[in-house]
Amino acid sequence: MNEWNRFDSRATLDQELARFAAQTLAEAIETRGHGYLVVSGGSTPMGFFQTLSQNQTLDWSKVTVTLADERWVAPDHADSNEALVYENLLQNAATSAQFASLYSGDETPEIGAATLDAKFSALPTFDLVILGMGGDAHTASLFPNTPALTQGLDPQSPHALIAVHPATAPHARISMTLARLLRTQNLVLHITGANKSKVFEQAITPESHATDMPIRAVALQQQTPLQIYYAD
């Protein structure tokens, strides 16, 4: 069952999600000495990133941040999710956090996924994974009707990372698999706007399929409860 957290403004959503993330990471640090946070790119999380970065009570030196997916571009590229995280989250109080990059510098994301898979498979259970969703119902870089989607959505996949070549978006990409994303204590979908709410609701109807609307696989899985943070 999905749990909706609805807010009257995007600013309030950002504040409450930042509060939840900081609390979750602080509890992880107290319990096992380190916190692991997985975030997503795009414009939706920027306000959340900036709000969370100002949290001065969290011991950021004991936090590792990484991404659910990355475009296969260098970190100084304008389209890099890593650059977005550094410019908006790893600022202010959060500059001491560690960052685990999904970009290896290899020629292709296939080589990069092979290079990095063991490292990301060996990371412990995440404390918080925050996913986004596109208007086509993709999440991370698990795009509809792509050759990599079957492996990407396999809940038993032995791989943490796959290469993706979306036909409907620029750049080849690397993405965490659903199996790796679900190895987390807390799973959040962060979406804004009535259109995305409608896409999500459509994805979970009996008539929909995960091959066409990949977010369905996240929403209907029974392994890790999904919390939805939403504002118009």
Q: Which residue ranges form the domains of the chain, and what is each CATH number?
A: 2-231 (3.40.50.1360)
Q: Is the pLDDT score of 65 beyond 80?
A: yes
Q: What is the pLDDT of residues 218-231, one digit of tens each?
A: 999 999 999 999 99
The reported pLDDT for the residue numbered 223 is 96
Residues in CB range of 198: below 8 A, 6 or more apart? none
Kindly state the average pLDDT of the residues 130-147.
96
What band does 16 get if pLDDT is binned at 50, 70 and 90? Answer: very high
pTM attached to this predicted model: 0.98
Sole residue written with tokens 């791989």: 159
Report percent pLDDT > 90 for the chain: 97
